Chain A
Amino acid sequence: MADHITLRMKVNGEDRSVEVHPFARLLDVLREDLRLTGTKEGCGEGECGACTVLVDGRVVNSCLVPAAQVQGSEIVTVEGLAKGDELSPLQAAFVAHNGAQCGFCTPGMLVAATDLLNRCPNPTEDAVREGLAGNLCRCTGYSKILDAVHTAASGGEGK
């Protein structure tokens, strides 16, 4: 087995190429090789969702994804949500509603909620609760996160 493989992928719209260990986790490649440290590790077993990123438009726990599997893929992390200095509507709503307290679940939560709103632009509160149930938050009790998602879904209107 080779010591390293060359991994080519598009990350937040940019072509990247890195030499990585054949069994490296996508999470480590993002955090250590690309130094995109916005994506967090909370449990390392796919339970908490803090490491959530999009791979070819699908939500994944990057701690469970071998980097070799994303060869040629398109990855979106929390760093890819804003357009330059302009926050995405969901990011802006998280700031306005205090959707982030300690902020450690926030990157994964934002990526998961972005995907949820892409698939279902006007979700019910129950749909948001179900949709984000794989992203644990220990600070908020989720109310302010639900408020933020609701506001973003209704185009900035909301509570």
Chain B
Amino acid sequence: MIGASSHRKEGRAKVTGAALYTDDKFMPGALHGVTIRSQVPRGILKAIRFGEGIPWDEFTIVTAADIPGKNLVASVVHDQPFLVGIGEEITHMEQPVVLLAHADRHLAEKARRAVSLEVEELPAILDIQSSLELQQVIYGPNNLLKEIRIQKGDPATVWATAAHVIEGEYRTGAQEQMYLETNAMVAQVEEKEGQTWVTVWGSLQCPYYVHNALKQLFDLPGDRVRVVAMEMGGAFGGKEDYPSVNGGHAALLAWKSGLPVKLIYDREEDLACTTKRHPSRTLLKTAFDADGQLLAIEVDFAIDGGAYATMSPVVLSRGALHAAGVYCAPHVKVHARAVATNTPPPGAFRGFGAPQSLFAIERHMDICARKLGLDPVELRRKNFLRMGGTMATGQVIREDLDLGGIMDRALAEIGYHDKRAAYAITNQEDDPIKRGVGFSVFMHGCGFTGSGESYLASVAGVEGLADGTVSILAASTEMGQGKNTVFSQIVAEALKVPFDLVDVAQVDTDHVPNSGPTVASRSTMMVGRILEDAAIGFKQALVQQGFLKEPYTAEEFRAGVQRAVETLGSVKCYGQYHKPANITWNDATYQGDAYPTYSWACYAADVAVDLDIFEVKVEDFVTVQEVGRVVNPRLAAGQIEGGVAQGIGWGLWEEVTTKQGRMINNQMTNYIIPTSADLPRIRVTFLENAHPAGPGGAKGIGELPMDGPGPALVNALEAALGPLRLDEVPMTPERLLARWEEVSHG
């Protein structure tokens, strides 16, 4: 079962149009919610004015004053209000202030435009540098949402004596997840037996995050809050933290009106106000000996966290832990800061900080190779982590890691050496098309950072149903990645029954335990492993109680489960995360095993630049990755292909343009994601090296493909065009032209 390309469980519903997404949920008598947002980046809210010509008495109106519980969104840090109240501080352009609901969607929209806010404006901080310089103190004592230091040895001891010291500065832009389904929530609040019962159905990755947020918002015990995950039209992190905000908003309107409320963002609102990838700025300083051996890496990593902490502390952590890349140096120092600005808060997006810091180190290694007069392949090979090697946190590599082999395989697939030689000649010709091939080598930590998995203590289970089939009980959500299918394969394998006998239960907090958030490339490896244990326990219980005798056929299994359910009523078995004994982590010192394991990869890109218009065409893209055992090769390849497509978008085209911190190209027309006409076939090779931490030896893969394309593409651009200041993504045609002119005409 593990290793088979089983068909997607919900595939048929998705191709017939039967799959029900949040806005497809029919709620008779539902009101339509809209949100009034601030239109200044920073200030004090003085008054809310309701304009003429709107029948306000027909509207449900919610302001901060109405909130029954705590007006703070439960998250890593509880710092963000659901709504800003009169006299309170507005901290970004898209801050929610008033919620309205009406049965007529068009009238609700008209009313939204009729509300105006009186605000006493304050000076705003809109970028990383201004925040670090404390031009205004807008958050805590020093504008820092989180600061992390990691140290191994002491780089200061080698700068003076090293043969080569090379410094660089790198930047990455914000990126929009651009899930095809916008953020969407439906809520209903009922008063029964003198008590309040809140239910939210939504497009959300983490039902228990929303559950926690609603408990705090309404000051209710957990059993009176219910969160149901509907079919989800993509997420990529964009529905990790934000649903706690809009889920709360929908529930507030439903509570005040007593009617069901739909709160469905249109694309413009979704792009303007929901989370994005954190912009970053990285300063890198490396020392090498005369042979190109790395002596020291020093990283100053800063990300723009926006107005509230959201996921920034953990995004920063992952970025910091990936900042030294796949290299082993005796001296490493990482100083990482997430800074506050008066911009709509960024949040989770596939890769979660790692693409930013890996872009810097993988661009830097190519630049160092050029400055040292070495081949970028050989410079990397000299310095790769190997079994027994130590990372910046002191984590010792305990697996049979062969980064050189992964790299060589990718370079062979793309024809790296032949193409480099050929392009060196053809690029001299008087032709506006210049070609280059480049690559990146990187890793992605699987599961939560540090002690995150221990704190989560996730629970998942399996349940026997009356028809003899088995249902998987987990709060992990399906967002297209294939969780329904992969979990079913893992459980079927553990039970030794056909795939068709297993399916997943609907994700509903009234019915499934908290298996943790659906994030961090953790579902297959972490929750899958818990399910494997639960399934084995389930089978053993059936055998011990005499309902089943091993070995069994599928029919005997089914009959055994039926008998057990008839006899006992309910047959469930749960498993819980147990920290492997050999994993240690210290949150205070950032020393130890940052992740139980990593997935490893080399990606290579072949690009053509048209110097007449500075358009970049990706001619070929090769991915080689070691991800443990692959549970479902076709679904896994789909994850890699889709992640690379997003990575190519981030590397070349996807630019978030802002004014006063707010995205102003907030339409699909002018925020450009790749179409089918823009991409090559992305080539996918899995090298399998079973890892004991995951079910059947599987590791995580969801985020890995986001990390490699940015640096591989920009390294290829440098190979095509020579040493320009190619220090940033997205490297749009406009930016590339400007960098070309710095050299040619500057």
Contacts and interface: CB of A to CB of B under 8 A. Distances in A.
19 contacts: A42-B182, A47-B667, A78-B16, A79-B16, A95-B8, A99-B15, A100-B480, A102-B180, A102-B480, A103-B13, A103-B14, A103-B15, A103-B19, A106-B15, A138-B178, A140-B645, A141-B643, A141-B644, A144-B637
Given A138-B642, A144-B641, A104 B679 contact: no
Contact of B673 (A45, A107, A136, A140): A136
A6 interface: no
Interface of B: 5, 7-8, 10-21, 23-24, 26, 177-182, 231-236, 266-267, 479-482, 634-635, 637-638, 641-646, 667-669, 673-677, 679, 681-682
Interface of A is mostly: loop
B16 A91 contact: yes
Contacts of A95: 7-8, 11-12, 15
A137 B668 contact: no
A154 interface: no
A105 to B, nearest CB: 5
A141 B642 contact: yes
B681 A143 contact: yes
Contacts of A81: 15-16
A102 B480 CA distance: 4
A36 interface: yes
Interface string A119-142: 000000000111011111111111
B15 A141 contact: no
Nearest to A130: B677
A132 B675 CA distance: 8
Interface residues of A, number: 55
Contacts of A146: 676, 681
Contact of B645 (A42, A44, A79, A141): A141
A87 B12 contact: yes
B178 A145 contact: no
A153 interface: no
Nearest to B178: A138
Given A136-B668, A144-B638, A42 B679 contact: no
A43 B682 contact: no
Contacts of B182: 42
B266 A44 contact: yes
A102 B232 contact: yes
Contact of B181 (A42, A79, A128, A137): A42
A103 B24 CA distance: 13
A110 B668 contact: no
A105 B180 contact: yes
Given A42-B668, A47-B669, A139-B480, 15 more contacts: A40-B21, A44-B266, A44-B267, A77-B17, A81-B16, A102-B234, A102-B235, A103-B13, A103-B231, A104-B180, A130-B676, A138-B180, A139-B642, A141-B645, A144-B634
Given A47-B669, A104-B234, A42 B180 contact: yes
B10 A103 contact: yes
Contact of B179 (A98, A138, A142): A138
Nearest to A107: B17
Contacts of B5: 98
Nearest to B12: A95
Contacts of B267: 42-45
Contact of A103 (B233, B675, B676): B233
A137 to B, nearest CB: 7
A24 B526 CA distance: 48
A100 B668 contact: no
Sort A-B residue pairs by CB-CB distance and give the 5 closest, nearest first: A38-B17, A104-B233, A102-B480, A103-B14, A141-B641
B668 A43 contact: yes
Nearest to A149: B676
A133 B677 CA distance: 6
B667 A45 contact: yes
